[in-house]
Structure 1
Amino acid sequence: MLGMVVCDPCERKAKVLIWVLGLVVGSLCSGFVEAVDQQRSSSTLVSCGANSSLVVDGRRWIGDSNPENGNLTLSLTGVVAVSSELSGDSAKGTLYGSARVFENPSNYTIRGVHGDCFLRLHFCPFSFDGRSMNESRFGVVADGMRLMTEYNVRDEILNRNSRSRDSGGNNSSYLIKEYFLSVVSGELVIEFLPSEGSNAFVNAIEVIPAVNKLFRGSLSKVGGNAPSLNVSGRGMETLYRLDVGGPGIKPSEDSDLWRTWEADTGYMINAVAGSEVKNSSNISYASTNDSSSAPLLLYESAKTISNAQVLEKRINMSWKLFVDPDFDYLVRLHFCELQYEQPNERNFRIYVNNRTAADNYDIYVQAGGKNRAYHQDYMDTVPAKLNTLWIQLGPETATSAAATDALLNGLEVFKLSRNGNLASIDRFSFPSSPNEESKAITLWLAIGVGAASVVILAVIAALLFLFCKRRRRHLADHKDNAPGWRPLFLHGAITHSTANAKGTTTGKSQNGSVQSARIGRRFTIAEIKTATKNFDEGMVIGFGGFGKVYRGEIEDGVLVAIKRAHPQSQQGLAEFETEIEMLSKLRHRHLVSLIGFCEENNEMILVYECMGNGTLRSHLFGYDLPPLSWKQRLEVCIGAARGLHYLHTGADGGIIHRDVKTTNILLDEDFVAKMSDFGLSKTGPALDRTHVSTAVKGSFGYLDPEYFRRQQLTEKSDVYSFGVVLFEVVCARAVIDPSLPKDQINLAEWALRWQQERSLEVIIDPRLRGKYSPQSMEKFGEIAEKCLADEGRNRPTMGDVLWHLEYSLQLHEAWLLVSATETQDRGRNNEPLSDELS
């Protein structure tokens, strides 16, 4: 009883204590939920040009003309533009169906913005009232930070769509620009500054507060001794946000920050260098600092170097990202170890712009265990003359770890502001000192420099005029000095001496060497327009970075292919000039011939012989064309090999094609094969050198892995690519096909495995079955296998390849003869023979 008397008060006290603790915990949880709700409610979503609210993806957007939107004001109303085509399309179309257009400087002021936040500007150009937003050029300043200058939305959309098509993605008609700002004044002012004679526009604005500190502390630049740079409070622009190994993450899947994570495949130099791994169980953040850096969904997938899935076991995973020059960049890598249970089981190296950012990197150690998500930041500066940022993860050779393959879950790249500027082109720089004397000095200096520039330009113009008049009198009509293609003679690619009766020219190139039989006929623009029916779109037979290729007909009914360089496109300028230079000195039956050129009206047009049967690829797969017989395929391969052999041996130092593939092997009306497209070609190494050091260029699936690793180009790089072509010819399938099972995606790897097992007949084009000589196919497979040797020194020369292909053809022709004889002996002379025997 005494015990009961004593325990009752204790029990009551315990219950009271538990109740109090429950209130405290409940209050804390309620406070956390309230903070999250406050973060949600403090987001500002503006539908520009709308007078009512919209709900898109579950979020409510307030019209900027809506009185309900009390925390937002607009200095000048501008013009409200509405698109009937977009407004009823979809939820996105509803948001982008209206816009606010400014013909004079104007600004939005959003009150109640404190601390770090994401600012997203949405642009979707359309036509209204006879005007088009595609021509708009303007600048944007937010919280005193210059975000854009002389910006054209259409150009950016076209650039992104071009990269998207290259990577197999879809086109987009809208653009979202995202910035990270630290607002201290309590209000965010967003200014839109139309360029002279133009206007500015915006479809929607997002301001999303960042509750946790996403960017903090100081970072040192990769590979340098520069002092650490504090990134806290620094203005940034989001350039890339990639879901590595995953299909991408929608904004609605990214907690309260509504970020878009794009699939990374289109940015990888070699997509098959990384294999996808997934694990969606028990993933958590390594620390609270990582909880807002990315959604947990990002860490459920990754890419890792898989020795069984790449051509070379020690190849890197590489991402090439285009950026603005002369800025600092923050590179954020997201990691989560999904496979190994102990430290020192995975070690690798991290490279940023070809400099080591980290070696002997162990995700397990850094994160504190398996399935622990965290991020690592690096900083680097892209020099003024470069526009690419390379991120590479590769094996750690000096380690005892069980595995040296790398792993990556996500990748972000942020451009850091410099002197209050994030715009890639800053045309509005003013002296920072208000001192009138310094202004006067600056003014006089500017006048002096300007006057000197005028004098220098006048002298140069006079000399250029005299030079042009002497070289070609009719150039006096070319007075257009607008930017674009420069006249051909300024490149030294085509000489301008008088054409002889046969249409060829002789003269000196820019370096003074005499070259005969250069590009022969000089066409007038009128002749080109007549041949192409005034550049009729129905005459287009191909596209490229330089522009379009038209089918044309010149006098006497001669069919030609006409390549017209786009005056505003700089993408293929170097390649275009290289092709001119190469074809000016190359003549061979198995190389496409250049007939002439046209350079009137600032055009750059080349005229080639027309190849009536198109590309080799079109006759292998993807087109409704009759299949080539095995004899035809052998003859095509032999012709292409002869063309490449001539390139490698027929000119001083030899020429390396560098882009051998089935789309660059063309067939004339008699199915004679000819190599084409010399835009990437390089002159071979000097006698005292073994290779040419150059940046990696070529086509995925055909690229020599040794060249990719070392950036050392040799003739054996063409041999490797030609080996891939040989397997493509026999299998009649794409060299890279992501729709196939993982072990079949890369044709070179897949076919090589079957060939090494001496079972190539299992995977050959079904249309060839029973119609080829087994001995011929065996010899063909052997030479293709040798072409794909890992090291260039173990590959045959193109002369050796040519000999083996000709021998393979002889074996097949002997088999055809024997088969025809056996058919006759069986008394079936009156029966039609197969295609191979006819």
Structure 2
Amino acid sequence: MQVASVFELGLPLLMIKPLFATTLQPFALLLLLLRCPLCWISCLLLSLQPSIFAQAQWTPKDALFINCGSFENMTIHGRLFISDEGTYVSGGVAVSTSYNHGQRTNVISEEYLTVRIFTTSTSYHVPINAGMHWIRLYFYPFDSEIFNTHSLLFSVKVDEYLMLGNSDIIAEIDDDRGSDTSVVVKEYCVNATKNFVSITFTPSNPNDTFAFINVIEIVSMPEKAYHSDKPIFVSDHSNIKREWGMTTNYALQTMYRLNVGGPSIEPAGDSGQLRRWDTDNEFIRGPSFGKIAQDKIANINYSCQVPEYIAPPCVYSYARIANNSNSNLTWTFPVDVGYSYLIRLHLCELMFQKVQQRMFSVYLNNQTAYLGLDIMAFVPKDSAYYQDFVIRVPKGPSVLWVQVGRNPSSVATKFEDGILSGLEILKFNNCAKSLVTTSLAELHSLRFMSESYKRRKGVLRAMIGALVVGPVALGTMVAGICFCRRMMQKKAVKSSCLKSQHVRPIVGLVDNISSSRRRSPSTYSLGGSFPFQKVLDATNNFHGSLVIGTGGFGMVYRGLIDGGIEVAVKRANPSSEQGLTEFETEVELFSKLRHRHLVSLIGYCDEQQEMILLYEFMANGCLKNHLYGSDLPNLSWKQRLQICIDSAKGLHYLHTGAGLGIIHRDVKTSNILLDEKFVAKVSDFGLSKMRLTPDRTHVSTAVKGSFGYLDPEYYRTQQLTDKSDVYSFGVVLLEVVCARAPVNTCLPREQVNICDWALHWQKQGLLHHTMDPRLVGDCSLESLQVVGEIAGACLAEKAISRPSMSDVLWRLEFALHQHEAASKISSCAVIIHRAEQSATAGAASPDNITNQELDDQTGDFDDDSVSRLFSQMLNSEKR
């Protein structure tokens, strides 16, 4: 009995972790060992307890909270905040922001009421233990009578990594300015190779800008918390694959951390790492948000492979599950292009007990990341599990899609709906050890800052050049002569090519390119020549982060000219099939065309073997990206109709209002651009053709255009007409209705071609079967039917049977009127229904309540307007 009692005493002592070792006095331990040898076993187990308890808890070696700008230490919410005055930093100005905040001290926590401001580059040197650490920077938008808070342009480096650039924090501070509770937090994961870390704040321009910080938090983290042995690489990551075993060489920035389906989790509830978990409500998209599943936190189990520090139990006790096997759960996240991302999915099966009861798939940026994921194949029910993915977002829309959904394989499962409990997205630094994406504002400020450096550099070069004489000067002269001769030969070849291709000389503003070059850059006019150096400055030497698109002609960059005017810069690719002819065509046509619904040419550049076009910048990109392939906001049916009308107006002007008439020849949704007010404009005239005489109905030319939009009659006869654009516009109309590509070989055979599929249903009066699901409830069937009829007419096999763009334009405006009329009638029906409900409920007479509302809604429907509307409907065929 004595042995049993002692053994029963020993095991509970082991379960209280460090309490046994730290509070039990040595003489008591000796007495226990003398009474029972079995206690030696308990002590042996106690010696192994660090590895056992590491599965559940994490105790950081370093947990430093630096209260910047404070003159004394203070304890807030159970944490000791250390003053930085005379400890970690020497420099900067300590400012208290509470003096002009009034009642703000009752709203915001005390640690944010002091701030340290830097007018010159200043570093914090903080002693820590070597190893992986979380570094969190807290910025609180403050008021100051001394410092201009609109001059917050600065960068932040942690050791050799650039964490913040000049524009990263400014936009968020501006958004939060005036809020009493908003604090901007930047969180990074870095490996400290030494026993200290340096955090450097550098104002962009010491004379005009300054840097600031409120709180710095440094917390050590498990070495392999964000390192899995076998991550799934969704796209090419040769550099990361090669060094994956040394992940500590990378710095990571936390972009998003979500408790999917569950509540937000404050840092104090996160297993020693003090991470914050937000809800996913802001990021989930799509027709279905799924359903929420929940289990008791006490039921969640961890293992050696998935310890509790990976994510707290509250994350795994909630999950969002798709409630329709035909739709995926979709989340979208704004990200920076040109970087790789670690995406961690936290998973926990809360319903089933056996394998193959739930198998779903994971898709990242429309790429298949995992087919047939079965959680039960790895861990039991109610057990924590996670899967890491690495994906690169090289270019295109700055958005990351995460989807979980139905498994398309033939394996029969009981439940195919996707499930997700938590989601983390962290960004890897690039090869320049930077986590900053260069922005236009930053480029502009950097160019401004570098002017004095350039002048000093120019003086130094002049001094060195004056000292270098003799053979060097002679060699330079010889090289210059050879270069000039080579350039003259190339120009002769270019001239002969022009003659052999019978390319007509450019007219209008560009009758003589060489003479326009001689103009001063300050006197160029719209459509004139730009110096190549100015184009380089506008695009930061064609920096990759400024790429906004690509096409057959070449890359398109976003740029700044004349101190802040945004432009789109299209640079010809030397290896592209489109070249000099297309370049001259665009300049020639744009010198004649000015229309509200045609993209304006700002200028061009043909220096140094370059062919570059500068257009007005269209803030909302192309129509295609708003219909499918990105997470851009959904366009309503009215918006889509108006965009089609705008585009038709632009094409109608080309066909009839531009002198002899112009055939676009490449009408498609990617060539319809939208400005900041969603006004549509037609772009890209590189393939356009002009009719030589007014009475000429076609142009005989080689077939060119985009697959899926080509007029079949033009393809057979090589005779290009206005009706070729009409056919392509018919395809655009179907894209607007269906929100899918013209040709998609991944779909069933009968759906591959949008024209065959949509017109099949249109002929049966059932075009709504192909309609974009996002339009349900927003699109009137009457206007949809009219658009379907227009598309069917545009897609007639023979060109003579197709309507002109003027007829297409009129019928589209009629469809818009029908939609607006249906919307008003629907509003009236709702009000009448409400009135009837009020009367049935015994409320006051509804006449006084609803008459005014009915008048407001039906005021436009007088007898004359109704008559005119039905007259148009009856006479539409006669037109």
Give TM-score scaled by structure 2 length: 0.52
Are the aligned partners of 1:222 and 1:355 in contact in 2 as well (CA < 8 Å)? yes
CA distance in structure 1 between the aligned counterparts of 2:653 and 2:263, rounded to whole angstroms? 43
Letter in 1 for 2:332: W
2:272 paired with 1:256 = yes
In structure 2, the residue corresponding to 1:73 is in which secondary structure?
Answer: coil
CA distance in structure 1 between the aligned counterparts of 2:136 and 2:72, rounded to whole angstroms? 20
Give the alignment's Cα RMSD to 1 decimal: 6.6
Match of 1:210 in 2: 221
Match of 2:739 in 1: 704
CA distance in structure 2 between the aligned counterparts of 1:475 and 1:127, rounded to whole angstroms? 42
CA distance in structure 2 between the aligned counterparts of 1:404 and 1:581, rounded to whole angstroms? 55
CA distance in structure 2 between the aligned counterparts of 1:638 and 1:105, rounded to whole angstroms? 53
Residues 723-770 of structure 1 deviation map (CA, whole Å, 9 limit, x = unaligned): 9xxx9xxxxxxx99xxxxxxxxx7523568xxxxxxxxxxx8xxxxxx
In structure 1, the residue corresponding to 2:189 is in which secondary structure?
Answer: strand
Per-residue deviation at 1:338? 3.7
> Does the C-alpha gap of structure 1 residues 597 and 187 become closer, same or farther in structure 2, counting only changes over 3 Å?
closer
Residues 622-675 of structure 1 deviation map (CA, whole Å, 9 limit, x = unaligned): xxxxxxxxxx99x99997796599699994435235699999999xxxxxxxx7
| Aligned pair partner of 2:332 in 302, 307, 319 | 319
Letter in 2 for 1:63: S
In structure 2, the residue corresponding to 1:233 is in which secondary structure?
Answer: helix
Per-residue deviation at 1:397? 2.0
In structure 1, the residue corresponding to 2:388 is in which secondary structure?
Answer: strand
What runs of 5+ residues in structure 2 fail to find an aligned partner?
Answer: 22-48, 439-445, 447-463, 492-509, 525-529, 543-552, 572-582, 604-613, 619-637, 656-661, 689-702, 711-727, 797-801, 822-861, 869-879
> Does the C-alpha gap of structure 1 residues 747 and 376 become closer, same or farther in structure 2, counting only changes over 3 Å?
closer
| Aligned pair partner of 1:470 in 516, 532, 541 | 516
Match of 1:555 in 2: none
Per-residue deviation at 1:45? 1.2
In structure 2, the residue corresponding to 1:77 is in which secondary structure?
Answer: coil
2:90 paired with 1:44 = no
Per-residue deviation at 1:705? 4.6
Letter in 2 for 1:116: M
CA distance in structure 2 between the aligned counterparts of 1:371 and 1:401, rounded to whole angstroms? 23
CA distance in structure 2 between the aligned counterparts of 1:75 and 1:238, rounded to whole angstroms? 24
In structure 2, the residue corresponding to 1:372 is in which secondary structure?
Answer: coil
CA distance in structure 2 between the aligned counterparts of 1:110 and 1:207, rounded to whole angstroms? 9
Q: How many residues align?
A: 606
Per-residue deviation at 1:206? 0.5
Match of 2:201 in 1: 192
Residues 697-730 of structure 1 deviation map (CA, whole Å, 9 limit, x = unaligned): 99x998715579889999979x99xx9xxx9xxx
Per-residue deviation at 1:46? 1.4
In structure 1, the residue corresponding to 2:356 is in which secondary structure?
Answer: coil
2:645 paired with 1:655 = no
Percent identical among aligned pairs is 18
Match of 1:690 in 2: 708
Residues 38-89 of structure 1 deviation map (CA, whole Å, 9 limit, x = unaligned): 9479521111001234566664433323xxxxxx823413212333455852
Match of 1:14 in 2: 4
Per-residue deviation at 1:93? 6.5
| Aligned pair partner of 1:331 in 340, 343, 356 | 343
> Does the C-alpha gap of structure 1 residues 810 and 13 become closer, same or farther in structure 2, counting only changes over 3 Å?
closer
Per-residue deviation at 1:118? 0.8
CA distance in structure 2 between the aligned counterparts of 1:705 and 1:145, rounded to whole angstroms? 46
Are the aligned partners of 2:360 and 2:418 in contact in 1 as well (CA < 8 Å)? yes
Per-residue deviation at 1:262? 3.9
Match of 1:627 in 2: none
2:410 paired with 1:399 = yes
Match of 2:92 in 1: 78
Match of 1:296 in 2: 313
Match of 1:375 in 2: 386
Letter in 2 for 1:336: C
Are the aligned partners of 2:140 and 2:183 in contact in 1 as well (CA < 8 Å)? yes
Residues 76-108 of structure 1 deviation map (CA, whole Å, 9 limit, x = unaligned): 132123334558525546433332123444333
CA distance in structure 2 between the aligned counterparts of 1:136 and 1:190, rounded to whole angstroms? 17
In structure 1, the residue corresponding to 2:315 is in which secondary structure?
Answer: helix
2:359 paired with 1:350 = no
CA distance in structure 2 between the aligned counterparts of 1:335 and 1:785, rounded to whole angstroms? 45
> Does the C-alpha gap of structure 1 residues 714 and 121 become closer, same or farther in structure 2, counting only changes over 3 Å?
farther
Letter in 2 for 1:322: V
Per-residue deviation at 1:190? 2.9
In structure 1, the residue corresponding to 2:384 is in which secondary structure?
Answer: strand
In structure 1, the residue corresponding to 2:314 is in which secondary structure?
Answer: helix
> Does the C-alpha gap of structure 1 residues 606 and 262 become closer, same or farther in structure 2, counting only changes over 3 Å?
closer
Match of 2:187 in 1: 178
Per-residue deviation at 1:377? 1.4
Are the aligned partners of 1:87 and 1:95 in contact in 2 as well (CA < 8 Å)? no
> Does the C-alpha gap of structure 1 residues 45 and 149 become closer, same or farther in structure 2, counting only changes over 3 Å?
closer
2:230 paired with 1:240 = no
Match of 2:507 in 1: none
| Aligned pair partner of 1:748 in 775, 781, 785 | 775
CA distance in structure 1 between the aligned counterparts of 2:436 and 2:617, rounded to whole angstroms? 35
Letter in 2 for 1:240: M
2:374 paired with 1:362 = yes
> Does the C-alpha gap of structure 1 residues 21 and 124 become closer, same or farther in structure 2, counting only changes over 3 Å?
closer
Letter in 1 for 2:516: R
CA distance in structure 2 between the aligned counterparts of 1:13 and 1:19, rounded to whole angstroms? 10
> Following superposition of structure 1 onto structure 2, how do residues 482-493 of structure 1 map, counting pairs within 5 Å?
none
In structure 2, the residue corresponding to 1:131 is in which secondary structure?
Answer: coil
Letter in 2 for 1:329: Y
Are the aligned partners of 2:302 and 2:384 in contact in 1 as well (CA < 8 Å)? yes
In structure 2, the residue corresponding to 1:108 is in which secondary structure?
Answer: strand
Residues 573-605 of structure 1 deviation map (CA, whole Å, 9 limit, x = unaligned): 789xx9x999969999xx956799999xxx998
Letter in 2 for 1:102: F
Residues 355-381 of structure 1 deviation map (CA, whole Å, 9 limit, x = unaligned): 543322212323x23333221112345
> Does the C-alpha gap of structure 1 residues 707 and 336 become closer, same or farther in structure 2, counting only changes over 3 Å?
farther
Are the aligned partners of 1:39 and 1:211 in contact in 2 as well (CA < 8 Å)? no
CA distance in structure 1 between the aligned counterparts of 2:380 and 2:654, rounded to whole angstroms? 54
CA distance in structure 2 between the aligned counterparts of 1:104 and 1:808, rounded to whole angstroms? 59
CA distance in structure 2 between the aligned counterparts of 1:49 and 1:120, rounded to whole angstroms? 17
Letter in 1 for 2:186: K
Letter in 1 for 2:667: I
Residues 294-321 of structure 1 deviation map (CA, whole Å, 9 limit, x = unaligned): 233333444445547xxxx466836354
CA distance in structure 2 between the aligned counterparts of 1:195 and 1:286, rounded to whole angstroms? 47
In structure 2, the residue corresponding to 1:74 is in which secondary structure?
Answer: coil
> Does the C-alpha gap of structure 1 residues 470 and 379 become closer, same or farther in structure 2, counting only changes over 3 Å?
closer
Are the aligned partners of 2:257 and 2:425 in contact in 1 as well (CA < 8 Å)? no
